[in-house]
Structures are given as C-alpha cells and as structure tokens.
A and B are shown apart, each in its own frame.
Chain A
Amino acid sequence: MSAPLRLLWLQSGGCGGCTQSLLCHERPLFAELAGVGIEFLWHPGLSPASGPEALQILEDAASGATPFDILCLEGALLRGPAGTGRFHLLAGSGKPMTEWVARLAPRARWVVAVGSCTAYGGLSASTPGNPLEACGLQYEGHIPGGLLGREFRSGAGLPVINIAGCPTHPGWVTDTLAALALEGMQPDDLDELGRPRLYADQLVHHGCPRNEFYEFKASAEKPSDLGCLMENLGCKGTQAHADCNTRPWNGVGSCLKGGYPCIACTEPEFENPGHPFLETPKVAGIPIGLPTDMPKAWFVALAALSKSATPHRVRENARADHPRVLPVQKKTGLK
C-alpha cells in the first residue's frame, strides 16, 4: 500500500457527539481506518500529544511543513463576537479556531465537515440573531458561503464534503473516509448540499419500521404510541435525506424505531423548523410538510382513502405503546 493518508481532526462549536458516535462503530474503529491506510495526525479526543506538542503538530500542518491529506472538522465556526472569533480561541494558542481552520483547509486534499453544525451551522447558529456569528465550513444555513466561501475547493478539487447529521452515523463517516482512501471522490459523489450520496440518496422514510401505520395513515397521538409520527408528532422522515432506517443505529435502532419523530437533522436549518419539534404544522388539518416528490392533491386523496380502509388492528395499535390487537392467524395456509 502507498503512504498512509494523514487525518487531522479538530473540534470547535459543537458537542463532540460525532466523535462519540463514531466510537460506537460496529467493528474495531482504529483497525478499520488503518486497514484503508488512514492514520491520525492528531485528534483532540484520542491522540497522545497535548499542549505545546499538539500545537506544534497543528502549526506544522498549517504552515505546510507536515503534509496531510484529510481535514475533518467537528463543530460550527464561531466568528463572533464582532468578527473576533473569541467565542472559541483554541486553547494554548490564543488564536481563534476560525483562523486555524482557514489556514489548514487549503492544505488538505479533502476537507470534511463532520456533523450538521460543521456543514451548515446547526444549533450553534440558532440563537435568535446569531450572536455567535456561527456558520458552517461552506454554508450558512442553506446558503453557500460559510467560513471558506462558496468557491473553495480542497487540494483534490472538491468542495467541502458535508457529512451532515446531528449526530453523524459512524458508518457515514467511516464509509466516506474509506471511499476517499480507496478511490477518492468525484463531485458527482456528493449531492447538491455537499453530502456524500452513499447515505444521502435515501430518505429516512425508506425502511421505516412504522411503514404499515404510514400506509393506512394510522397516526400516533402522543409519545410512545406505535403509530405513524407524521400526522401529529412532527416527523419529517418522508422529506429528510439519510439511510437511518436501513443502516441501524447502535446495532438495532433509529429515531423512528425509538418511538420519536425524525427532526431532519441532516438538513440545513433543521434546528429552527419554525414550529415545535414534536408537533406537525398543519393548514386546515392537513400537514404542510408532505412528501417532497408527490403531488399534494394525490397525497390528500390517498390519505383519505387509506384512512377509510384502516384495519381495526392497525388503528388500535397506532395509539398504544405495544401491540394490543395481533395479526390474525390464517387457518387455510398461506398462498
């Protein structure tokens, strides 16, 4: 194998949850990354070097003295107050993290935004008026720009790779890093918001365990109900891009399987939906956030039809936390 790919990972205006999620990877993580030829130049949560030694690693990377391949950033960029970046001065350096990132990004072959706050700003950008002046690496909400600007391209000629999600699934990160290491990525491997299509071509709705309830519009009314969460409880799974229900979380789970709605955490500005997270906004009793690629009139007509045909079992179970009515046993053999 050729020389290892050096990965530099930094954290700023976020919660560290994408690293914590990554450590939940199903297989031994460090061995898997090493297996595709990736080694950590430095990671704040995992590496041995601390203090002055760590600062020297970063300085050498920023000056070009130490070449590196992948820059992963976790957390929004905090440009405030008043453009000073003082909401996050990297410890020991006295310099704003925004300045470090602006120096490092052009040196990397690929720049990866890990998590929705790094990609688009996320919760750090959601204080009214955005006093933190928080933004993503190459987006501010859904608008291209951010810290690096819309024209930014990394050494390999790609825009920032936005592994959006709050948090990211460990597989989204390991698969993206492995794809970079094994074959590189082409612009066409990213969707129009910069997300790797390897997970963002699907909708959260695909493989939803509440599928039967969705079909019959048998809806949950309160937390812990088994029914579809779209009509009343704010679920955006039919609109949100991610493979959460075909790529299980923590071995077996997903938000929907866990009994709560998809809040579309892979989408820009998910943090400010304009309505309470756990309520579905409606006009004249009809949810306004209908599936993106279906004519509204058809959806309404089909919903009315399927509601009228809802089996008793599905209707009853939709409003319970465990099945109260079981599927009938067919006596004559299945055909």
Chain B
Amino acid sequence: MSRRILGPFNRVEGDLEVILDLDDAQRVAAARVNSPLFRGFEQVLLGRDPLDALAIVPRICGICSVSQSVATASALADAMGIRPTANGIRATNLILAAENLADHLSHFYLFFMPDFAHRAYASRPWFEATAARFAALQGSASAQALPARAGLLKLMGFLAGKWPHSLGLQPGGTTRAPGASERIRILAQLRECRAFLEQILFGDRLEAVAAIDSRAGLATWAEGRAGDFPAFLALAADLGLEHRGRAYDRFLSHGAYAGQTAPLFPAGLWEPGTDPAPLDPARISEDSRHAWLVDEEGPLHPARGLTRVEAGKPAAYTWCKAPRYAGQPFEVGALARQLVAGQPLLRDWVNRQGASVPARITARMLELARVLPAMEDWARSLEPGQPYCTPGELPADGHGAGLIEAARGSLGHWLEFRRGRISRYQIIAPTTWNFSPRDSQGQPGPLEKALEGLPAGPEAPPLVQHVVRSFDPCMVCTVH
C-alpha cells in the first residue's frame, strides 16, 4: 500500500486535492476527495435582508454565478408565492442556458481536452494533431473556442447586464426587457454560436447530432468526421475510456429550464434498466461525518441543516458535506439530466456499459446540440410589450426552496427568514453531490467510487485526471 496526494488539481474551477491509496499493483484501492477551501456563504447570509441573497449568492461562484442566482430567485419566489412572467421565464432560460453552454465549452476546450496533449500519449497516432489543437494555453482550439464562448455570453450583456454576478435575475422574472433591435442581435449571436458548434465542434447540424439514438449510431456518425468532438470520440475509443470512471450508476436531476407547463428536461431519478422515478426532495439529506463541520444530530434535510466549523475534527478530510438521497450517493450533471430526460443514445450507452468518461462528455455535447435550438425558440418567443418581471411581497417570516440545474448538475437552495432577516440558508451544489466524502455509513462519494481500481502510480497515464475532470467539478460551489 502507498499513498499519493494529488494537488493542486488544476484546470477545474477552484482548488482540489485527491488522496489515493494504491495497492501493490499501483491501482486505486481507496480515494478521498478534499475540497480545501472554506468561505462559509451560509453564514454570510445569516441576518441579511432576504433579497440581499440576490446580490450575495452569485458571488459564491464565478462560473455558475447565474445558476446560483436562479436558485435563490426561485427560493424567494417560492417564499413569496409568485411565479415569474412568461417573458421572465424565457429570458431566465436564455440567461441560464447561455451560462450552462458556455461552461460546457470551457470544460471541453480549457479543462478536459488539454490532458490528451500529455506526453504519456506521445506514441499514439492521434497525439500530434491533438497536442497542436488542445495543448493548454498553446493549442489552436482556444483561439476559436474562447471567442465563441464570449459571443454566447454576450447574451448576458443584452439580457442580464453582465456576467458573472448579475442582479438581473429576480423572483418575479428579469430586470431587462430587450428592445426590438436587441432581440435581433440575440438571434444573430445564437446563429454565430450555432455556426461554431456545427462547423468546428461537431462537423454536422445540431439537429443531426441530437437525433443520434444509440451507442452504435454514435460510432458510425463519428467515423472519419472532421470536428473536435468526433476527434475526442476517436481517441477515447483508442484509449478504452468507456471502461473508465463508472461510479454508482444512480442519477438525479432537479429538472432544467422552466416552461409554462413542464420543464424542458424533467426532474427525477434514474438507474440502468429501469424507468425514471419521481424525485422527492424531502428525501435529500446532508451528512457531515467526514467534513470539518459539527456533526449535529446526524444527517439533516437542508431545510433543517446547519453549517458550523469544527476545524480539528478527527476522521474529517474535507470541508464538503455528503449529500445523499434516501441515504445513497447519487451522480448529478449533464449525463444525469439527459438520462432522466430519456435521451436515447445515453440511455443505450449507460444501460450497456454504465457511466464513463466519454459518456459524461457526450452528454455535455448533446446538451449543446439540444439546448441551442431551444434558446432560438425562447428568443423568438419573447413577446414585445409584455412584462418581464412581476412584483412580489415578502412576508416577514417565511421559507422557500429553489431546486434548479446548473451546468454541472443539481443545485438546491433552502432559505428561511424570521422578522425580515435570513435565519437559515443551506446550499447543495452539483459538485457537493459528486465530490462528496464518505458518509456515516462509510459509503464513498461518487468520484471516490469512480476512481477505485484505476491505475494511478507515478508512471500511469493521466487516467485519474480524465475521470476527475469528466465530472467538470466546480470546487468553489462545492463548499461555498
């Protein structure tokens, strides 16, 4: 047995340490994930005016900023008993989708792909082209991908003032009604993004990508196709990555992009070989056993949750709590969202082989292909002259919950206020689920489980890196 401590684990959002116990064959026998930064936003919010959360929570995270805003706006709307206007819902969806898709692009081009320019792969036939295209800071791809990402985020300029950290997302909708010309510019910006995705990333129409309905169909589609995603699929097949990174194969989604009747992607739970089950938020709890936080009286539902520091706690190894659903670890993210939503290619893939590095990447790519057309619809259906924000009154005492989907998965805010001041605020972020530590039952978190069995000696290829980054962790959200 030997131990390796990997950190600073870079090209993720925030700071991350992964502690690996290796067996004699240099394979991971046990993994522990440490989220080493604690800022205590749940305490920052205590005693503040409830609406101050709109200014404070986006600053939890510079990459999921809008997601945090939408979650708190939704929790406040719940407490007010209001629902945003139709235009407000469309604009919120556009703003949230712009962030989520921009995050998928950042992840693929800046965080994930540069690992395949690692010298460990120098002998592979695809190495030279991949290194020229994706090497960190040097590759040719970022000169195309960064402007495409910035172009998508121009929607923030039109609809939300700026990104990150907008105050434009309110319980009743959004604060900015775009004019006729701005609506045209938003559509132009979306066309520009579509062109990048179709010409550079996919080498095909978005609708054709979204229609791929099986694992075999994906392989046929990718064969010989020019595009950054097909290039990834080729090297992933060469490296056998579809056998790497399986966690528990239990998936959870809060449901994404509100609609007048149903969200674009529904809420629920899914496991291979089954039909989706409904999500019951009352069964969510957080367990502090292995966090440097007081245990309280055991795992608590976030509506009753507490966050109190106990820095010297024995057996703790992270600042992150362990969220569980019905006592079990669940994986969240684009893959979970699409599996719950019944996307046929991913259902077929995970039914056959379980979750993996390329399945998670493919889920993000399919979201780019599925959500951009939805954005075009939302932009076209913005109704001139109709309101973007409905007023609401906060009672002096109240509570609310906001359960949404960020790029990286399920994000929940639980808020309680007394005499006009916040008395409790609890947050479970996507990477809190995925990178959670062990719980009181000793069950490892999803990443900890996914790393078990991987070759991880000093001479091993960067498989641990691929698996960790396949979750697209956001560490600043994780502990908040």
Bound pair: A and B?
Answer: yes
Q: Which residue of chain B is the closest to A165 with respect to CB atoms?
A: B165
Q: Which residue of chain A is the closest to B135 with respect to CB atoms?
A: A48
| Interface segment out of the listed B169-177, B217-225, B333-341, B369-377 | B169-177
**Cβ–Cβ < 8 Å partners of B147 in chain A:** 28
25 sampled A-B residue pairs with Cβ under 8 A? A15-B62, A16-B14, A17-B165, A21-B164, A24-B163, A30-B142, A44-B11, A44-B15, A45-B12, A47-B137, A48-B114, A51-B9, A88-B36, A88-B38, A91-B7, A92-B7, A92-B17, A93-B7, A123-B39, A167-B165, A223-B172, A224-B177, A249-B156, A250-B153, A258-B176
Provide the A253-266 mask, 1 if CB < 8 A to any CB of B, else 0: 11111111101010
Check A92–B6 contact: CB distance below 8 A: yes
Smallest beta-carbon distance B100→chain A, Å: 14
Range class of the A interface residue count: 35 or more
Most chain A CB within a 10 A radius of its CB, from B65, B156, B161: B161
**Cβ–Cβ < 8 Å partners of A26 in chain B:** 150
Range class of the B interface residue count: 35 or more
B399 in contact (CB, < 8 A)? no
Check A278–B136 contact: CB distance below 8 A: no
CB within 8 Å for A252 and B158 given contacts A15-B59, A46-B136, A224-B175: yes
- Cα-based distance from A251 to B37 in the complex (angstroms): 33
A181 in contact (CB, < 8 A)? no
Q: Which residues on B are within 8 Å of A, measured CB to CB?
A: 5-17, 34, 36-41, 43-44, 46-49, 51-52, 54-56, 59-63, 65, 106, 110-111, 114, 117-118, 135-137, 142-143, 146-147, 149-150, 153-168, 170, 172-177, 179, 185, 309, 311, 384-385, 387-389, 391, 465, 476
- Cα-based distance from A256 to B165 in the complex (angstroms): 13
Check A48–B161 contact: CB distance below 8 A: no
Smallest beta-carbon distance B406→chain A, Å: 14
Check A253–B137 contact: CB distance below 8 A: no
A132 in contact (CB, < 8 A)? yes
**Cβ–Cβ < 8 Å partners of B387 in chain A:** 224, 321
A197 in contact (CB, < 8 A)? no
Partner of B62, one of A16, A257, A278: A16
Check B15–A90 contact: CB distance below 8 A: yes
**Cβ–Cβ < 8 Å partners of A263 in chain B:** 55, 167
Smallest beta-carbon distance B85→chain A, Å: 9
Provide the A235-272 mask, 1 if CB < 8 A to any CB of B, else 0: 00000000000001111111111111101010000010
Q: Which residue of chain B is the closest to A248 with respect to CB atoms?
A: B157
Q: Which residue of chain B is the closest to A40 with respect to CB atoms?
A: B137
Check A46–B146 contact: CB distance below 8 A: no
